[in-house]
Structure 1
Amino acid sequence: MEPTIHPGPRDTSVLTLQAEHRSEDVWGGGMDRLLTCREHVLGLGEWVIHDRVLEFVRLAGFYGVHRLVGGGLALDRSLITALIERWRQETHTFHLAVGEATITLQDVAVLLGLRVHGAPVTGDGTGVWSALVEELLGIRPEPGDDGKPVLQGSSLRMTWLRRHFSQGPPDDAADIVYESSSTCH
């Protein structure tokens, strides 16, 4: 005899958005398709970081992120769809057959190889983003050739970054040039 898996929460008092949740359609037989996944790393294309710059990316502790973004990560659309069907916005957890699970800061740190010890970096998010980009990267973001803004809130278009920073420093440049380039790549 096969075990019966309950299609929804046993106690609906917490999951107040159940009626609008994708799982209602799935369990009702109305939805059996994969979701469309957007990949925001497409703007990187074949952007290769120079080996000498990559050394400083490693020293800065961002090599795991580089591998994730620059390594041609293949998305498992079926897995993403399954996780979305089980994600609960009300509790910020996944409801699985074995119980509830969530993603912790430690999970992200392990997967990306990022350090999460020390004081948190906080702020109110109301800074002048174009001035910060100019301070950190040495160039102020201007509107793109297509007229679309390069900077929207705190989001910077990858195509702009690629246009301005895809060429690494010359091979005979001093290490200090490569070290400063690692903040741009």
Structure 2
Amino acid sequence: MATASLIKKDPHIADIVNKTVMESYRVLRGQVNGLGYSPDARLMLYMELAGFGSAALIRTFDLRYDLISALVERWRPETHTFHLSCGACTVTLEDVALQLGLPIDGSSVTGVSAIAEPTALCYSLLGASPGDDESNLSGLKFTWLKAKFQHLPDNATEEELMCAA
């Protein structure tokens, strides 16, 4: 009975997925933000070593907003699952790893960290640190990363290539 109350009885957006006339007001519209450029070929060795080689090759993808909308309608925040007519399902870390070919072994990265010198750590890992206007060092702005690493000099050192990767 509890499960039945989670599944809506009204017409579902999935009913319009294969129809020629779309009820566009019920379909979400999204925005895709991608890297926008291919990584420098010199970085691919380091990306492979880090386990991100397959993910680095993803350039573009098509999103079916009607199907995403159908899933959104079936999402139940109280159980963190999609409630479908065949039962409940959720996307797991293993699903993402299989789709993108990413390694998921090792320790997880989660929670709040207490880094004594975040600017020094950023510099040691990336070879540069953003200015105060680019980061509060709880995160880095993608615009700064792109500006810093999109165009590498022809004579980039191995260390610069590792930092960029």
Q: Same fold (TM over 0.5)?
A: yes
In structure 2, the residue corresponding to 1:156 is in which secondary structure?
Answer: coil
For residue 158 of structure 1, what is the aligned residue in structure 2? 142
Distance 1:160 1:141 in 2: 7
Distance 2:53 2:73 in 1: 31
For residue 64 of structure 2, what is the aligned residue in structure 1? 76
Change (3 A) 1:26 1:38: farther
1:38 Cα offset (Å):
3.0
Distance 2:57 2:92 in 1: 21
Is 1:179 aligned to residue 162 of structure 2?
yes
Aligned length, in residue pairs = 154
For residue 4 of structure 1, what is the aligned residue in structure 2? none
1:101 Cα offset (Å):
0.4
What amino acid is the match of 1:87? W
1:100 Cα offset (Å):
0.4
In structure 2, the residue corresponding to 1:95 is in which secondary structure?
Answer: strand
1:25 Cα offset (Å):
8.0
Is 1:139 aligned to residue 128 of structure 2?
yes
Distance 2:102 2:131 in 1: 31
> What TM-score comes out, normalization by structure 1 length?
0.66
* Of 26, 33, 39, the match for 1:40: 33
Distance 1:153 1:31 in 2: 41
Change (3 A) 1:118 1:140: closer
Aligned pairs for 1:27-66 within 5 A: 32-41=25-34, 44-45=35-36, 47-66=37-56
In structure 2, the residue corresponding to 1:48 is in which secondary structure?
Answer: coil
Task: Tell whether the 8 Å contact from 2:54 to 2:102 is kept in structure 1 after alignment.
Answer: yes
Task: Tell whether the 8 Å contact from 1:53 to 1:179 is kept in structure 2 after alignment.
Answer: yes
Change (3 A) 1:116 1:180: same
1:105 Cα offset (Å):
1.5
What amino acid is the match of 2:105? H
What amino acid is the match of 1:180? C
What amino acid is the match of 1:37? G
Task: Tell whether the 8 Å contact from 2:51 to 2:102 is kept in structure 1 after alignment.
Answer: yes
Give per-residue Cα distances to partners, 1:66-124, cap 9 Å, x unaligned: 233xx112222112111111111111101111110011121111112111123333442
What amino acid is the match of 1:99? G
Task: Tell whether the 8 Å contact from 2:54 to 2:101 is kept in structure 1 after alignment.
Answer: yes
Task: Tell whether the 8 Å contact from 2:118 to 2:137 is kept in structure 1 after alignment.
Answer: no
Q: CA RMSD in A?
A: 3.3
1:130 Cα offset (Å):
5.4
Gaps of 5+ in 2: 13-22
Distance 2:83 2:25 in 1: 18
